[in-house]
Amino acid sequence: MRDFSNDHSALALNTATLGHNVDGHGAGWSPERVIDACAARGFGAITYWRREIGDRAVDIGERTRAAGLSVSGLCRTPFLVGPLAPPTRAAVIDDFKASIDMTADLEATCLTIVVGGVIEGSHSLTESLKAVADIVAEMASRAQQGNVKLALEPLNPVYGGNRSCLVTVRDAVDLCDAIDNPAVTIAVDVYHVWWDLSLATELKRAGSARIAGYHLCDWLADTTDVLLDRGMMGDGVADLKAIREAVEGAGYSGFCEVEIFSANDWWKRDPGEVLDTCVERFRTVC
Ligand code: ZN
């Protein structure tokens, strides 16, 4: 396992940690200001949200690399199925294509897919996952052409109803197997997998080529909101070292990306303090 105690070049910032994924939250720093603040602290990469990028993908990608950082990812595709997805399949495909093109223009490592909840009226995870596989398979060749990895992110089962019918790494690896395209991979997020004792086994089954991202935060024992009350690493109950051992045991050697949705705590703090804390916790508890 890598030793980060004196080297945090593998540390990436997901800008959701500064509240940039939700309107009306966070300090509202520009991408340029985030880039400079991350570069000054020795971060290795940044993952952006589409709402920050607009029509400036090429420019922001170049600006990030000029500061010595990589673009570790882009969040995210539309929900593909379920109650929060766009109203028609055609609308889903159009927005999915736009997100792939933005990822290619940014030259980001991967595009996160949050698949959406159970199809309304279906009462069926299986049927919903089949519809997901169908859409992702259709998009895989476009992703390949743009040199984009699609990263299926299984979410914590608490989101099964509305945000993600994909709730385990096991099912994510099964989806990769079913689609069988090298552009289709998975992302592993502590918030979503910390409870899963089959994690190491399933990640070995995935193999290093199919793990495109590793996301850090913590699960607070007394969490007040399952969407917007994630913990800073070290403040919760997740076994962060064991989870990273499972991820790296499967051959992953990429960035470790801090992604903390925290409306009432970290998003209210000065972004400089948040970034400093990320570095300190990454070196000591991750
Ligand atoms: Zn994540």
The Cα–Cα gap between 263 and 225 comes to 9
Cα(211) to ligand 1 centroid in Å equals 13
**Using CA atoms, how far apart are residues 246 and 268, in angstroms rounded to an integer?**
33
pLDDT of residue 180: 97
Q: What is the pLDDT of residue 2?
A: 97
- What CATH architecture applies to the domain 11-285? Alpha-Beta Barrel (3.20)
- Structure confidence at residue 133 (pLDDT): 98
Distance from Cα 133 to the centre of ligand 1, integer Å: 20
Give residues whose Cβ lies within 5 Å of ion ligand 1.
189, 215, 259
Show the tokens assigned to 223. Answer: 């969490």
Write down the pLDDT at residue 280.
98
Distance 263 CA to ligand 1 centre (A): 16
What was the pLDDT predicted at 32?
A: 97
Show the DSSP H helices in the chain as ranges: 31-40, 50-53, 57-66, 89-106, 125-145, 169-179, 190-193, 199-206, 240-249, 271-285
Roughly what angle, to the nearest 10 degrees, separates helices 199-206 and 240-249? 30
CA distances from 141 to 92, 116, 136, 213, 276 (A): 16, 21, 9, 20, 40
Question: How much distance in Å is there from the Cα of 164 to the middle of ligand 1?
Answer: 12
pLDDT at 13: 98
Alpha-carbon distances of 10 from 83, 106, 243, 251, rounded to whole Å: 36, 19, 16, 15
pTM for the model: 0.97
- Between the alpha carbon of residue 107 and those of residues 57, 112, 149, 252, the distances in Å are 9, 14, 11, 20
Question: How remote is the CA of residue 50 from the centroid of ligand 1, in Å?
Answer: 15
The list of the chain residues with pLDDT below 50 reads: none
Domain ranges of the chain: 11-285
Share of the chain above pLDDT 90, in %: 99
- Can you tell me the distance from the alpha carbon of 81 to that of 161, in angstroms, rounded to the nearest whole number? 11
pLDDT computed for residue 91 by the predictor: 98
Gap from CA of 114 to ligand 1 centroid (Å)? 9
| Tens digit of each residue's pLDDT (9 = 90 or more) over 157-215 | 999 999 999 999 999 999 999 999 999 999 999 999 999 999 999 999 999 999 999 99
Cα 3 to ligand 1 centroid, rounded to whole Å:
22
